[in-house]
Each structure stands twice: as C-alpha cells, then as structure tokens.
C-alpha cells in the first residue's frame, strides 16, 4: 500500500502561531497521524514572529507570481522541519509580515484569499510535495475546494485532489461583498449563486467549504448534531442538513505529553494520579499566593482559563457573580477578550481581593498553574464545538463544571450521587442560576464528601483524552477519499 499524503492547510499552527484551539489541534494531530503511517505536512502563512524566530531554519524552495484580480503578487515558498514535522510557509510581506495572525476583518478576507490561491498555485511548483488529500481548517481555507473546481482543468493533477473541511467554529464564516470576492478569487458567475458560495446574496467562505469539500467534519459528535438546528446553525443549518451525508463529528484530543502534571515544569509541584492529593494541595497554595488570594486550603478554588467572549458564557457568570462570591469559594480567571468583560471582572475582583483574582493576560505557564492549582474548572459556554480546556483540567485532576453543549457534553460525564460515577458536573439550560446552583453543589461535594470527590478526581485523571482514537477515525476518512479517488482514475 502506498503511503497517503495529506497536506493540512491552516492559518494557525501551534507552537508557531495560535490564538486558540484551532492552532492546538493543527499542531497536535499531524504527529499522531504520522505515527499511524500517513505522510502529513502542513502549510501556513509566514507571519513575522516565525521568520524572526526561525529565520535560519527556513529553507527557501522558490518563488512565483500569483494572479489575484487585477493584482499580480509575489509568493515565496519556504520549508522547515520542526522536530520531524514538515511545515511549508507562504511568504508575502504585505499580507503576512505582521506580529498578529489576524488584523482587521476586511484586510483578513484579502489576506486569506491570497493564502488560499497561493497554496493551490504552489502545489506543483515550488512545493516539493504533491498530496493526495487537502485537510482544510475553518473559513480561512473554505474556498479551496471551490477554487479547485473553478481554476483547474478537469484532467489536471490538482483536480484529483480530495478535500476534507474541518469546522472548528461555525460562528466565524468569512463573509464579504460579492464584487470584492469575485475579484479576489477570479470566480466565474456560475459559482456565485445561492447553490454555490453565496448565502443571502453574499459570499461566505465557511459555506463554500461545506458545499464543495468532499467531506466535512467538525470537532465533536454533539456539535455535529447541534449545528443542524437553527439555534446553533449560525444560518447554515438548512445547508448542513442537506449535506448531512458528508458531515461527521470527531472529538478533538489534547497533547497528553505536553499537558502532564507528572512532568510539567511550570507548576509548583508535580504529581500523578497516585499522589495528586499532596501535589494539588501544594499547587493550590502556590497559586493562591501568586494571585494574592487568601491562603486557605479548605476554600474551593474555582477557575476559568478562557477567551473573554460571549461564547464562553461570561454573561451567565456576571449575572450571578455577586451571589457566587458569598465567601464559600474563591474564583480566579485568566484570559483576555472583550473590554466590557475585562472591566466587569476587574472591578468585582478589586472589591473582593481575598476571594477573587483576575489575570487579564494570555500566559501559557500561568494557565498550567491554574489547571494544576484549582479544584473546579468552570466552562458555562453558550456553545462549544469541542473545547480543550475541560480536558486539560481533568488531566490535572481539576473537576469541570460545564454547560451541556458540543464537546463539553461529549467529554464531561456528570457526577451521579447514587452510583458515584462521573468526572464532572454539568447543567443544561442557558440559565445563570443553574450555573450558580451546580457550582455550589460541586463545592458541597468537595467539602463534605471527600470520598466521592476523590473518586471524581481519579476518574477525571484516568480519562483517555489522547488523539489516538480520533486520529484513527480521520485516517478512515482519508482512506475513504483515497478509494474514491482511485475509482475515478482512468484505466492504464
């Protein structure tokens, strides 16, 4: 059997460039697939911090000019081997030589239009790799399956490519005016229809990915079902129902080597599922001290590590925040985001310095100390395609309290007081008081039922959140596509 060649196409790849879960997934999945026998490589834009940091490790493969509407633009292609993972880069200083991955929305549409066209035009040359399958991620890559049909000859090598489009978050769709997209993409009229890339008269990259890709996946089975309903469908639920035959939900994993309390150099005290009690107690004391919270072992420490945006349920939290801070627990929040949330949290913390702390930064090492030092991890998301933090928290023996949606529902089994089973706590409605009551309930179990709590922590720490199972299922999709491709090859 020949080795299947897969090219991941993404705007974020951890550890080179990430703003959230997308980068983590694209960083963690390829090495696991490689161990399963696939030749997986990645292509991404060359952002400024990458060339600054890895300059001499980058191998220049060549350059060419890319046509985009009335423009003709330079496109350099570079290559790097990062711990055995081959990553290709698309270089264009005007578009990508910036400190941030995302700039302003309108410019981003143009930047990622260029990126998508550059990826396809670079495949035969200067890239030294011709994949069988393109694995695309989120709206920044959603036009690629359509571009393949629009720009390449039916018998060309590129038209044999199969595509998988993975939705990490349906909310962000890449939408812009028709004239501008027709120009940036040089799209013939026949694609600019409601059956094609338009939704309500406007081009939509996310929609295009769903329509034209051979397979569509999203990052948990529950989210795959939810997005077919109007409430979660972000206006695309009818389309997703029509395309349900090619839609699958595959749960994300986490990098269990990287997130491991037994080896993590950033936490105050390392521990395993044997000695977690002492280990976590030391981590908790250290975190309380670091955050200036009252040093009290018996107070449940509830944390959030999150982007401060509506999706993450911050309005629910703010609605019951004063009630939550009744002195029976401590709350610590780490993350950055929208100003109104930052302000509200900062002000409440200022009024309650002994029991509430807020760190408005994005700091990976501090996040690990939160995961290790906390008792409970709060994630009251309105929707959550998968969510990685609840899995990381469990790996560190911190019990999640989540709303039953998307991947949170698929990974957190609520505590059952009769059987003692479960690895966390959950509530079902978008209702601030449900959040309040379940959090208090969890704190009660922690304080008054030590054995039940220990069983919860043991269960949480034992869960298998590695990528192996999902990688195998992605592998099956690749095989399916490769088989289809083989059937279509003309006989020789």
Answer positive or negative: Cα dihedral of 84, 90, 91, 93: negative
Q: Which is nearer to ligand GLC, 307 or 447 (CB)?
A: 307
What tokens were used for 487?
A: 């059937």
Q: CB nearer to ligand GLC: give 170 or 358.
A: 170
Does 26 engage in binding with ligand GLC (CB under 6 A)?
no
Nearer to ligand GLC, 355 or 386 (CB): 386
Q: Is 394 in the site for ligand GLC (CB under 6 A)?
A: no
Which residues, at least 6 apart from 415, have a Cβ–Cβ distance to it below 8 Å? 421, 422, 423, 424, 425, 442, 445, 452, 456
384 near ligand GLC, rule: CB under 6 A: yes
Residue 88 half-sphere exposure, CB side, CA atoms within 13 Å?
28
Alpha helices per DSSP H over 352-467: 364-373, 389-395, 406-411, 432-448, 450-462
DSSP secondary structure, 103-144, as one string: --HHHHHHHHHHHHHHHHHHTTTT-S---SEEEEESGGGTTH
For the purposes of burial, counting CB atoms within 10 Å of the CB of 232, is it exposed (0-12), middle (13-18) or buried (19 or more)? buried
**Is there binding between residue 78 and ligand GLC (CB under 6 A)?**
no
- Residue 91 vs 410, nearer CB to ligand GLC: 410
Site string for ligand GLC, 209-238 (x = CB under 6 A): ----------x-------------------
Scan residues 398-417 and list those touching ligand GLC (CB under 6 A): 407
Nearer to ligand GLC, 12 or 91 (CB): 12
Q: Tell me whether residue 76 or residue 313 sits nearer to ligand GLC (CB atom).
A: 313
* Omega before residue 222 within 30° of 0, cis: no
Task: Between 387 and 397, name the residue whose CB sits nearer to ligand GLC.
Answer: 387
The interface region with ligand GLC, picked from 95-103, 172-180, 291-299, 382-390 by CB under 6 A, is 382-390
What is the pairing mode between strands 71-82 and 59-68? antiparallel
Letter string b/e over residues 131-150, b meaning 16 or more CB atoms within 10 A of that residue's CB: bbbbbbbbbbbbbbbbbbeb
Single out the residue of 385, 400, 422, 424 in contact with ligand GLC (rule: CB under 6 A).
385
Binding mask 127-146 for ligand GLC (x = CB under 6 A): --------------------
> Pick from 11, 163, 173, 252: which binds ligand GLC (CB under 6 A)?
252
Stretch that binds ligand GLC, among 4-12, 16-24, 53-61, 68-76 (CB under 6 A): 16-24
Whole-number minimum distance, CB 386 to ligand GLC, in Å? Answer: 3
By beta carbon distance, the residue nearest ligand GLC is 21
Give the span between the Cα atoms of 370 and 300, in whole angstroms: 13
| Beta carbon nearer to ligand GLC, 348 or 389 | 389
Residue 168 is a binding residue for ligand GLC (CB under 6 A): yes
Encoded tokens for 417: 């007081």
Among 10, 21, 89, 95, binds ligand GLC (CB under 6 A): 21
Min CB(134)–ligand GLC separation in Å = 18
Work out how close the CB of 187 gets to ligand GLC at its nearest, in angstroms, rounded to a whole number: 28
Kindly tell me which residue out of 50, 77, 208, 386 binds ligand GLC, with binding defined by CB under 6 A: 386
From 17-25, 28-36, 71-79, 101-109, span contacting ligand GLC (CB under 6 A): 17-25
| Residue 424 contacts residue 400 (beta carbons within 8 Å) | yes
3-state secondary structure 227-296: CCCCCCCCCCHHHHHHCHHHEEECCCCCCCCCCCCCCCCCCCCCCCCCCHHHHHHHHHHHHHHHHCCCCC
Q: How far apart are CA 367 and CA 174, in angstroms?
A: 30
Is the Cβ of residue 21 or residue 279 nearer to ligand GLC in the bound state?
Answer: 21
Contacts of 127 (CB under 8 A, 6+ apart): 43, 61, 77, 88
CB 39 within 8 A of CB 482: no
| Per CB under 6 A, 22 contacts ligand GLC | yes
Among 5, 14, 20, 103, binds ligand GLC (CB under 6 A): 20
Which residues are at the interface with ligand GLC (CB under 6 A)? 20-22, 25, 168-169, 219, 252, 384-388, 407
């Amino acid at each position: 059997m020949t080795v299947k060649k897969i090219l991941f196409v993404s705007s974020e790849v951890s550890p080179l460039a990430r703003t959230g879960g997308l980068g983590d997934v694209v960083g963690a999945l390829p090495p696991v697939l490689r161990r399963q026998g696939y030749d997986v490589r990645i292509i991404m834009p060359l952002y400024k911090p990458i060339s600054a940091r890895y300059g001499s490790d980058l191998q220049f493969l060549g350059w060419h000019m890319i046509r985009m509407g009335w423009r003709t633009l330079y496109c350099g292609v570079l290559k790097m081997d990062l711990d055995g993972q081959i990553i290709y880069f698309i270089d264009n200083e005007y578009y990508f030589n910036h400190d941030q991955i995302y700039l302003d929305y309108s410019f981003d549409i143009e930047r990622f239009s260029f990126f998508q066209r550059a990826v396809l035009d670079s495949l035969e040359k200067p890239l030294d790799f011709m994949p069988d399958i393109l694995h695309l991620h989120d709206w920044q890559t959603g036009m690629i399956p359509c571009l393949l049909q629009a720009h390449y000859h039916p018998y060309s090598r590129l038209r044999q490519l199969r595509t998988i489009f993975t939705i990490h978050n349906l909310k962000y769709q890449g939408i812009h005016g028709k004239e501008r997209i027709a120009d940036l993409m040089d799209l013939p009229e026949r694609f600019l229809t409601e059956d094609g890339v338009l939704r309500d008269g406007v081009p939509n990259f996310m929609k295009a990915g769903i329509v034209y890709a051979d397979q569509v996946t999203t990052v948990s089975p529950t989210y795959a079902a939810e997005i077919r309903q109007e409430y979660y469908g972000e206006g695309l639920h009818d389309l997703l129902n029509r395309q349900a035959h090619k839609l699958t939900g595959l749960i994300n994993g986490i990098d269990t080597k990287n997130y491991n309390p037994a080896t993590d150099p950033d936490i105050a005290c390392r521990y395993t599922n044997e000695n977690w009690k002492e280990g976590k107690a030391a981590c908790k004391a250290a975190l309380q001290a670091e955050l200036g919270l009252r040093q009290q072992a018996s107070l449940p420490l509830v944390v959030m590590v999150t982007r401060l945006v509506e999706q993450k349920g911050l309005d629910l939290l703010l609605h019951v925040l004063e009630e939550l801070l009744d002195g029976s627990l401590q709350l610590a929040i780490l993350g950055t985001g929208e100003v109104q949330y930052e302000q509200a949290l900062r002000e409440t913390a200022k009024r309650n310095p002994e029991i509430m702390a807020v760190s408005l930064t994005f700091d990976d090492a501090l996040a690990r100390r939160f995961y290790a030092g906390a008792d409970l991890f709060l994630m009251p998301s309105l929707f959550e395609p998968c969510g990685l933090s609840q899995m990381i928290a469990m790996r560190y023996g911190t019990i999640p309290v989540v709303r039953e949606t998307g991947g949170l529902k698929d990974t957190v089994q609520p505590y059952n007081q009769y059987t003692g089973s479960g690895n966390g706590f959950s509530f079902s409605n978008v209702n601030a008081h449900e959040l309040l009551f379940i959090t208090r309930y969890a704190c009660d179990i922690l304080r008054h039922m030590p054995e039940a709590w220990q069983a919860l922590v043991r269960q949480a720490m034992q869960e298998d959140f590695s990528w192996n199972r999902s990688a195998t299922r992605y592998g099956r999709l690749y095989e399916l596509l490769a088989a289809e491709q083989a059937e279509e090859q003309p006989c020789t």
